[in-house]
Structure 1
């Protein structure tokens, strides 16, 4: 065997070995985590990820800013630490300074990007402001070590996807990233039966809060008419399932559906959506512009959905914090508890 001294004397070989060592070293993560959130993660406190597209593209200003502030207070009251995710001047952040949250909420230039997995590199390379979707939030949360995420509704299979192939990246992210997503079900504008079928194909656990037989909610509505694969009755049960998946090293997320407070009758919502879909088709609106367009159409017709939207986000934040708290308690011993 060659001695170290002999290898070092053969400079080209030695330099090549050193170069390869540094070339294969993993790059430093560009993710910026706030000091409070990093300390909470280190201390194994319940930390709840929050998306920012509801701020940049979901609700109008200033309701979006007030909703976010209230949601963070609700999480803290429940004993959790809120962790807003976003891209600030191209920097992926978990925990966003208050002044930057205001910039995201105002979106005065209208150029904030709705960031999913495919958009991350572009936004970072160009130093842009971006609101994180469910998919992007899951990515940043997982990078930070956060296991529970509260949101409004998940994306899914759009109506007419059999011809447009319009399917949200949220669904594939759920199959690849082990983060628990607490939501009010798939958004009302989607083809919910196909969305649930897609999640089943991808092996994603879906459960609905309520008695056995409670159907999956449809975001603005309490009952989508689609049977829920599972039901959970308390947050400890959800935490045990999340822990069991983790103990098996399953690299997939889980979906925890919570029926919304102050729901809108499903027939009213679907009539507006049907009309808005026709209009979107005529205007050539498609892809990631579809969801904001349809949600705006619903709000114009039924302004009361704003109350429902805010209410369901805040209710989900409560349930998510309790799940995260139960999960943190279960993990104190460092082993799976049957």
Structure 2
């Protein structure tokens, strides 16, 4: 596999012990419509820079895993029609075939950690799919987070997934879960679900302290910070519940199973909410990036010395 290419501004920031936040590229290539996707990508990077944090959007460009995209590469990810969607297992194939691809939560987490980045902002995690007990169908995000020392700020996972089963899997896999100023696990489109979180944090310094103590204990798993979308920006509850019920019924009528279910549910959600779910999606990511900026700044202060940006054995692994 080709070596990791780390943008100069990202490497300089890491070497100086300054805050850096990783951003995924699947949202840009596959999660938002054009040209809104390019606008949002630029907005998120600007939001971080305005807070003194270096953004590191991650993708594979012509076969090279790249941490920190130049404007041309960011435009290519946003505008090209043949951008592959890459999870961890796809990375060596994309590298060998010189493909350009957008990285999922799993692939972004892996590449960010290899570059020495400890904080990653995304929208929502992948998780256990509905019917998981029968199919064992779950996202690679879960097992990757179990073995990757990174802190992921997210708004839970979409309600089309099995939230309860996902939380059980995170516990089994040893992934630390924190509620950001909440005792309720967020539901991506909605600020809360029926599921509680065991641990609540109130500020970025507490998250940084958890990260530091995880390193001291030698843990190699992720810390997930569940950050609810503000109530004023969440999807209308009645609309959410109606569309979800209709989408699940539609999938059942069509006899959809396994991997065919999730794309159908997402397509139905986006269509039947007349764009409202898209606006909530953008609000989710914007909110998570803001929280991530504070956590990355606190982590840079916690790590202290220049060049210290992550767990032992991670910093400097980009070569």
Shared fold per TM-score greater than 0.5: yes
State whether structure 2 residue 155 is matched by structure 1 residue 184: yes
**Alignment counterpart, residue 128 of structure 1, candidates 99, 118, 123:** 99
Trace 1:82-121 onto structure 2 (pairs within 5 A). 82-108=55-81, 111-121=82-92
> RCO greater where, 1 or 2, for CA within 8 Å and sep 6 or more?
2
SS at match of 1:222: coil
- SS of the aligned residue for 1:221 comes to coil
2:22 match: 49
Indicate if the aligned counterparts of 2:126 and 2:142 stay in contact, CA closer than 8 A: yes
Aligned-residue offset at 1:154: 0.4
Query: Paired residue for 1:240?
Result: 209
Cα-to-partner distance string for 1:131-179 (whole Å, 9 max, x where unaligned): 1111000110011000000000000001111222210010111110000
**SS of structure 1 residue aligned to 2:167:** helix
Q: Deviations over 1:56-113 (max 9, x none)?
A: 11111111111111111111111100000001111110011211211211232xx322
| 1:329 aligned residue | 301
Corresponding residue for 1:225? 194
Aligned-partner Cα distance in 2 for 1:220–1:120 = 30
Which position in structure 1 is the counterpart of 2:42? 69
Question: Counterpart of 1:23?
Answer: none
Contact 2:132–2:165, Cα closer than 8 Å, also in 1: no
Kindly name which structure, 1 or 2, has the bigger radius of gyration based on alpha carbons.
Answer: 1
CA distance in 1, matches of 2:262, 2:51: 31
Structure 1 Cα separation of the partners of residues 51 and 263 of structure 2: 31
2:135–2:258 CA contact under 8 A, matched in 1: no
CA distance in 1, matches of 2:263, 2:75: 20
How far the C-alpha of 1:267 sits from its partner, in A, is: 4.5
Mapped contact 1:181–1:256 kept (Cα < 8 A): yes
Q: Aligned pair count?
A: 302
Partner deviation per Cα, 1:28-73 (whole Å, 9 max, x = no partner): x611000110111100110000000001111111111111111111
Structure 1 match to 2:317: none
Query: Which residue number corresponds to residue 319 of structure 1?
Result: 291
Residues 58, 292 of structure 1: 8 Å contact kept: no
Change (3 A) 1:105 1:277: farther
Unaligned residue ranges in structure 1 (runs of 5+): 1-26
Pairing 1:256–2:256 present: no
Contact preservation (8 Å) 2:18, 2:53: yes
Cα RMSD, aligned residues only: 1.8
User: For the residues of structure 2 that align with 1:238 and 1:112, how far apart are their CA atoms?
Assistant: 34
CA–CA separation in structure 2 for the residues paired with 1:298 and 1:243: 39
Report deviation, 1:279. Answer: 4.2
CA distance in 2, matches of 1:203, 1:135: 16
Aligned to 1:275, the other structure's residue is in SS state: helix
Query: 2:314: which partner in 1?
Result: none
Asked if 2 retains the 8 angstrom alpha-carbon contact of 1:57 and 1:292, the reply is no
1:176 aligned counterpart, secondary structure = coil
Q: TM-score, normalised by structure 2?
A: 0.90
1:280 and 1:286 in contact (8 A); partners too: no
Secondary structure, aligned partner of 1:259: coil
Q: CA 1:270 to 1:129, structure 2 compared with 1: closer, same or farther past 3 Å?
A: farther
| Aligned counterparts of 1:285 and 1:96: Cα–Cα separation in 2 | 37
User: 2 CA distance for matches of 1:283 and 1:93?
Assistant: 40
SS in 1 for 2:57: strand
